[in-house]
Amino acid sequence: MKFTPIIGLEVHVELQTKSKMFCSCDASHFHAIPNTHTCPVCLGLPGALPVPNRTACEYCVKLGLALGCTINTETFFERKNYFYPDLAKSYQITQLQKPFAINGKITIDDHEIRINRAHMEEDTGKSVHQTIDCLDSTLIDYNRSGVPLVEIVSEPDITSPEMAKNYLLKIQQIVRYIGISDADIEKGSMRCEPTVNLKVEDNGEVFYTPMAEIKNVASLTGVQTAIQFEIDRQTKVFEETREVKSHTNKTTRGWDADKNQTFLQREKEGSADYRYFPEPDIPPIIFTDQEVEKIRESLPELPEQKIKKYKEKYELSDYDANLIAGDKHFSDIFDSVINGKGETLPIQGYAKFLANIFNGAIRTYLNENALELDISKMYNNYFWNLYVAVSESKISSTVAKQVIVESYQTGKDPVEIAKEKGLIQVSDSGEIEKIAKEVISQNAKAVEDYRKNPASIGFLIGQLMKASKGSANPQLAKEILEKLLK
């Protein structure tokens, strides 16, 4: 038997608009005091009415464009009716028939994952389960109720847990690039519900296992492990029962991150009837072609485009290009540093130098100290000065890595730091010759060794470097010593 996973992802992204989707309440809710960002609308009080947030709709269109979707310029909201204690109105305002964006795609390692839709909806409140006065209680925090949410639904084109993770990372990257959300999975501003089943090929016959939707996955690694668990579970169940997918046996399974396993939450998912109908409180939403074009023009250069540029124009390696483009902050400052020097010089050398500094010294420093990149500490001219110094052999690449970190910490010019610390390489051959002569006269034994074994010159170079306090250009030092000892 051959098992191939079929995975589709529903991704919810909370938009970082100032106000909520249908009222003027503050949309930020992380760590806010419960029920302080609420009003009659998001509490669902009788008589209150929703007024759509145009900026949120624009963000949804923007995301749709970034995902290569077709935009529905005339669309409307619908009510999805269901009961849940934290759903204030007992219906969610969402989109079913005509999402803002349809038919997009994302490419991961040459594998195309089609995007079915990206639609606009509102978040629900949050149920908080607590024991109060020895009673198991559920408290409801409506701060999150009505926060704008975009749901991105993929086609079931994902074939492995790792691909699912990469797909999520890609969505996260794009969302952050276009600046509509921090898409932080741990904070809940990006949430993911994978649906998994298996294609089974057995003796020329093809079967499909029952579909399972996995809920409560709250981390990137969780997504990967949960999907893998589900693949293994379904493989085992199929081998035992040979049960195949039907319209009524889709299940919802929760992810238990402590036990690393999924568990059954709801059966017969296929029979849920949400009684969708057009939201009578909100007139159709219309974007003119010009408005869509304006949003398209406002899109920044996206990661794909950046990687292409880094590789083709700057001749960076695949590794460097991906690493820099992977983080919007890094790539923005990288572009800004490069652009600061215009297009005049052979840019590839500078780009390579910057990539080494960015992906090496700075990234290592940030990672070791668990810091976020602070772009205000990055000065375009410092990088250029350092590059010039290294190209002219005034500063060694080792020293460059050291001083750039110090520059990042202190805000001082890295070349000045090198000067102050006497780390400028001496490439004046007269000066080095003077030191070399001293070293030769003081190390008769080593000179003797050299004459027997030329490979032992390293010791003398070391002595010379020491005497120059590390400032001598090591290559030049070697050449001069060899000349003097001939």
Partner 1 sequence: MELNKLTLIDAIKGIKEKKFSSTELVSDCLDKIEKLEPILNAFVTIDKDNALNQSKNIDITKPLAGIPIAIKDNFCVKGIKVTASSNLLKDYTAQYTATVIQKLQDAGAIVIGKTNMDAWAHGSSTETSDFGPTKNPWNPLHLPGGSSGGSAAAVASDEVVTSIGSETAGSIRQPSAWCGTVGLKPSYGRVSRYGVIAMGSSMDCPGPITKTVDDAALLLSIISGHDPKDATSINQKPWEIPAPLKDLKGLKIGLPKAYFPDGIKFAVKEAVLNAAETLKKLGAEIIELDVLDPKYAIAVYTVLQRSEVSSNLARFTGIRYGHPRSTFGDEAIRRIMLGTYTLSSGYYDAYYLQAQKVRTLIIEDFEKQFKKVDAIIGPTSPTTALLLGATEGQSMFGELEDMLVEPSTLAGLPGISVHCGFGDGLPIGLQIITPQLREDLAVNIARLFESNTDYHLQHPNL
Closer residue to partner 1 (CB): 93 or 174:
93
Look at residue 150 and give its three-state secondary structure: strand
Out of 71, 88, 101, 192, name the contact with partner 1 by CB under 8 A: 88
Q: Which of residues 8-67 bind partner 1 (CB under 8 A)?
A: 40, 44-52
Q: Please, which of residues 260-319 interact with partner 1 by CB under 8 A?
A: 273, 275-277, 280-283
Give the residue with the Cβ less far from partner 1, 81 or 219: 81
Bridge partners of residue 111, in order along the sequence: 108
| Nearest Cα residue to 176 out of 325, 55, 53, 57 | 325
Q: ∠ at Cα 36 (33, 37), nearest 5°?
A: 115
| Residue 321 structure tokens | 């290009």
Residue 99 binds partner 1, judged by CB under 8 A: no
Q: Name the residue with tokens 């969402």.
A: 94
- At 253, the amino acid letter reads R
Q: Given the complex with partner 1, which of 88 and 198 has the nearer CB atom?
A: 88
Start-to-end C-alpha separation, the chain: 75
Closest approach of partner 1 to the CB of residue 85, in Å: 6
Nearer to partner 1, 93 or 115 (CB): 93
Give whichever of 91 and 382 is closer to partner 1, judged by the CB atom: 91
Nearest to 244 by CA among 209, 292, 203, 194: 209
Number of residues binding to partner 1, judged by CB under 8 A:
26
| Interacting residues with partner 1 between 145 and 174 (CB under 8 A) | none
For position 430 contacting partner 1 by CB under 8 A, the verdict is: no
* Cα 198 from Cα 237, distance rounded (Å): 11
What's the rounded Cα separation, in Å, for the pair 110 and 218?
Answer: 28
Report in angstroms how near the CB of residue 28 gets to partner 1 at its nearest.
22
Our finding on whether 128 is near partner 1 (CB under 8 A) is no
Q: Tokens 């120059």 belong to which residue?
A: 468
Residue 128: Cβ within 10 Å count: 12
Question: In 328-379, which ranges are continuous DSSP H helix?
Answer: 328-339, 347-356, 363-368
Q: Which is nearer to partner 1, 36 or 305 (CB)?
A: 36
Cβ closest to partner 1, residue 40 vs residue 411: 40
List the beta bridge partners of residue 195.
Answer: 8, 213
CB of 76 to partner 1, least distance (A): 11
Pick from 89, 117, 191, 328 the residue near partner 1 by CB under 8 A: 89
Contact residues for partner 1, defined by CB under 8 A: 40, 44-52, 79, 81, 83, 85, 88-91, 273, 275-277, 280-283
